[in-house]
Amino acid sequence: MALPDWSAWAILAGVILAAIVVGLRPLLARLAARNIGRRKSRVLIVVAGLLVGTAIISSSLVVGDTLSYIFLQDVYVRLDAVDELVSNAFNGQLFSFAESNATQIASDLAAVHSPVDGIAPALLKVMPVRNVAGNKGNQQITVMGLSASSEGAFGPLTRLDGRTTDTNELGLTDVFANERAAA
């Protein structure tokens, strides 16, 4: 893994500054070097403390990046490449709002010439679902209701065999399900 340019320049500046201090203040450099030899246990404690501090800071940065990536990927998996999600939530629970709100948001965005590819209302509910034919069920299925007239900007849905389909092809008693929900 290569260092970024600014890191390489920072390391080079540190080495040059250390060389300048050694060149201009040789007595200071000798005293520092002699203290390392005299107080070995304290030097080890300081170095160990610096290592632990560096490990804590770098691990927190890694964990933060990882969690951010996980949450972002979760959004992409659930809603594909959606940039903005407008919802009505209270105490962590999603509530429905009128479709006229989505129409108003769309007209407001169009009025300010916002570079939006598409806007579509969706109704999301987590509910128990039972397959009567297979006598199987699941208590935690996310059911999504889409408006077929608003989905054009987002492209068609893709079936397991690679063919594309549209929400207009659904009958009144039909449903599209992903592999996990259909199993």
- Tens-place pLDDT, residues 84-130: 777 777 787 777 878 788 888 888 988 998 888 778 888 878 888 87
C-alpha triplet 60, 63, 66: angle, nearest 5°: 150
Q: Where are the domains of the chain?
A: 10-79, 88-182
145 — pLDDT class (breaks 50, 70, 90): confident
Q: What is the pTM of this model?
A: 0.42
CA atoms within 13 A on the CB side of 124: 13
56-73 per-residue burial string, b: 16 or more CB within 10 A, e: under 16: eeeeeeeeeeeeeeeeee
Share the mean pLDDT of the chain. Answer: 81
Distance CA(23)–CA(15), nearest Å, equals 12
47 — pLDDT class (breaks 50, 70, 90): very high
